[in-house]
Structure 1
Amino acid sequence: MLIANSQKLIAVRKPPSAKMKKIKITLVKSPIDRPERQKLTLKALGLNKTNSSREVEATPQVLGMVRKVNHLVKVEELA
């Protein structure tokens, strides 16, 4: 968020909300024959084997990684 303050733009970081959404990510397709970058993204998400799952907070970084491998994973929103 940018705030104009006497002809200067100041970047202000929003405080993290106390209650972040959580998502469950499940690897449903094998990363064999996929680009190395996609394999590294799955490793960063903590998904090693097919049908393995992780529950993580839905931060912009995690959602970006999920978007890169969305054809290999299933995403469920947790309550």
Structure 2
Amino acid sequence: MKITQTKSVIGSIEPHKKTIRALGLKRIRDSRVHGDTPQIRGMIQKVQHLVRVEEVDE
């Protein structure tokens, strides 16, 4: 799964900021590839308004 940050975390609550950092994202348009695990899916669901998710073949 390719996760791309699409919006700023400025003004977001602290748990959302920490979740974005835990996903390895630092700035807008920053992307990371993660495996499809329940933990990653839960993190994405928590910050779905700040990220875009794409399925990729690894």
- TM-score of Structure 1 vs Structure 2, range by shorter chain: over 0.9
- For CA contacts below 8 A with separation 6 or more, give which structure has more relative contact order: 2
Consecutive unaligned residues of structure 2, counting only runs of 5 or more, are: none
Amino acid paired to 2:54: E
1:42 is matched with 20
Amino acid paired to 1:58: D
Identity of aligned residues (%): 49
When normalised by structure 1's length, the TM-score is 0.71
Higher strand share: 1
Alpha-carbon RMSD across the aligned residues, in angstroms, is 0.4
> Which of the numbers 38, 60, 63 marks the counterpart of 2:41?
63
Query: In the comparison of the two structures, how many residue pairs are matched?
Result: 57
Higher helix share: 2
List structure 1 runs of 4+ shifted beyond 3 angstroms: none
